[in-house]
Structure 1
Amino acid sequence: MASPCSFPSKPTTPPRTHTPQAPVIPPPLPPNPLDLALPSPPCSLQAPIPPPPPLPPQPSAVEVAPPRVYGLEKSRLLQEALEKAGPVPKGREDVKRLLKLHKDRFRSDLQWILFCADLPSLIQEGPQCGLVALWMAGRLLLTSGSIPLERLVQVAMERGYTAQGEMFSAADMGRLAQETLGCQTELLGGGLGGPNRDRVLQHLITGYPLLIPYDEDFNHEPCQRKGHKAHWAVSAGVLLGVQSVPSPGYVEDTELPGLFHPVPGIPHRPPSFPEENSPGATFLLSKQGKSWHYQLWDYNQVRDSNLQLTDFSPLRATDGR
């Protein structure tokens, strides 16, 4: 994969069935903070004006802005959720939270290496999960500025890739990424397993994102519903379980013994990838447009969900839209 972009493919226009494919992938960018304005309180003319309260401390450079919500003005529920949510967690911190919360999912006989790039968050409104995933990947790839989601929607509609923002074709997604982001993409046929697996893992540990169509379960994790719950996610990292961590170039986490991170700026030897059928040893660090938290998904679970995207949802086919 010689590029800034890549996606496992899914169905290509309703309501036909399709041969499952796999990913198209896109390169790393910083999020821009949300500007907030606070109204000043009214003052009384009858009493002396008290001195103003001290200004709140300036946010430190490490703080992260809250996620953007596309169409926020239309959704009061999303507005309230955003106000309660606080800042978007960094990838490393979110992974450590997941490791502590779900210890039983991760094998204790292995050491773990985390490769991750920090993705911005954008909460989708309507059937735009694929374009939201592409927007997040684009923020990681572009070195200056960003492409507004509205622009991605506009170009996709002008090219005939979408009617309402949904993306049925990974091939169309790759073409859209190349035109709007100026990146290279690669469409992987045959799924995420077999010879494609090592290419995908190498792509992710290099710091590039992967766009993945899959069936979404109630908790946003991959499931198998024949495409009836088809959704898009973007992966920008991987958690690998290894027998031993190669040296040098890696440092052990100060909070979680057994978890290692590549040291920025220091050459490091890539670890040996776990065998494909080795259970519970390879996890994708992913985000999708219904949550601003990262999730860790078992690689084989994602692979199997991607492979069975064959049908268009009967409910969507008959909803009159």
Structure 2
Amino acid sequence: MTSQRAPLEPLVPHPRAPVVPQASIIPPPPLPPPAPASGPAPPHVFGLEKSHLLKEALEKAGPVPSGREDVKRLLKLHKDRFRNDLQWILFCAELPSLIQEGPQCGLVALWMASTLLVPPDGVPLDRLLQVALERGYTAQGEMFSVADMGKLAQEVLGCHTELLCGGLGGPNRDYILQHIIAGHPLLVPYDEDFNHEPCQRRGHKAHWAVSAGVLLGVVAVPSLGYAEDPELAGLFHPVPSTPYQPPPLPEEGFSGAIYLLSKQGKSWHYQLWEYGQVQESNLQLTDFAPSRAMDGRAYVVPAGGVRSGLCGQALLLRQHDTSH
């Protein structure tokens, strides 16, 4: 498939095709007020007031882990998945967690990304939902168009957006990796499996994630600007505020050497996904789920359906005053 990067269209309304009759929209409640200053600060996780089960599980699990901690946990837990003939470099921009309510995974992913684009707290989720409703991008929080997601980000976050078409492979692969290594977020639709990992269900489990980190397997770590993790041999991190030599990117046919560090709205943990797995899932988003078509709710789907709105597409985001 031919790979191309296209500028986003200006903010112009275009026809929508609701799958079922329009339903009334009830915006989510505002976020709770901050906890009192006395005592230990609560974990930086939003959305827990909507789920007692998640709140109880989080209290048992302890503080929300950082991206570095989650990667180290996964490397230790699933060490047989990772090639032992490589050394690993982790680039990671920290993201907060937000547990979604209803079909709002795309807006939740955009909110997480907004904390990197409009630091430190991003833009309130209810503001993203309000504008998406006003522009006709959504009926209840769902987002079936990467192009609409880009226009929403442009308007609300005031950031630079770039729509990628043609899949995550080919020339787009190195472009995406360089974007993430530079500390900028990527929004990517995919099919979600029961464990939140990418799968292939022809779009029936379409979901959104934000990637702001990458784990690269290299034969040798560049000598400038990296330090080995004190707890896990073979894992290296860029030294903060120090120039570093860009790592060599693995060749496209070299499997098992690139993992995206991602978050999505159904877990406070980071996900570590093999790049090819995400690429294949993103490239087969073609059909609207029959279960959604028959659930009696309204959904806004672009002309051409899920295939034209999501398939083989992703969104690069960065602040206007930064260079890629």
TM-score by length of 1: 0.80
Ranges of 4+ aligned residues in structure 1 off by more than 4 Å: 12-15
- Larger gyration radius, structure 1 or structure 2: 1
Matches for 1:77-226 after TM superposition, within 5 Å: 77-226=53-202
- 1:247 to partner: Cα distance: 1.3
Alpha-carbon distance in structure 1 between the residues aligned to 2:80 and 2:249:
21
2:34 counterpart of 1:35: yes
SS in structure 1 of the partner of residue 262 of structure 2: strand
CA separation of 1:101 and 1:13: change in aligned 2, threshold 3 A = farther
How far apart are the structure 1 equivalents of 2:139 and 2:57? 28
SS at match of 2:130: helix
Output one character per residue of 1:232-287: Cα deviation in whole Å (capped at 9) or x when no partner. Answer: 00000100000111111000111111111001111111111011121110000000
| Residue 268 (structure 2) aligns with | 292
Amino acid at match of 1:69: G
* Structure 2: tracts of 5 or more residues without a match: 8-15, 20-31, 298-324
**Structure 2 residue 68 is the aligned partner of structure 1 residue 68:** no
Q: 1:145 to 1:123 in 2, by over 3 A?
A: closer
Q: Give the secondary-structure state (helix, strand or coil) at the position aligned to 2:277.
A: helix
Distance 1:255 1:224 in 2: 36
The question of whether the paired residues in 2 share the 8 Å contact of 1:66 and 1:82 is answered with no
Structure 1 unmatched runs, 5+: 4-11, 16-32, 39-54
Q: CA separation of 1:14/1:282 partners in 2, compared to 1, >3 Å: closer, same or farther?
A: farther
The match for 1:306 is: 282
CA RMSD in angstroms comes to 2.2
Aligned residue in 2 for 1:9: none
SS of the residue corresponding to residue 75 of structure 2 reads helix
- What's the counterpart of residue 252 of structure 1? 228
Equivalent pairs, count = 272
1:278-289 pair list within 5 angstroms: 278-289=254-265
Q: The residue matched to 1:215 in structure 2 has which SS?
A: strand
Check conservation: 2:91, 2:215, Cα contact below 8 A. Answer: yes
Residue 307 of structure 2: aligned partner:
none
Which residue is 1:275 aligned to? 251
2:68 aligns to what SS in structure 1? helix
Provide TM-score, normalisation by structure 2: 0.79
Deviations 1:73-100 (A, max 9, x none): x544344344444321111111100100
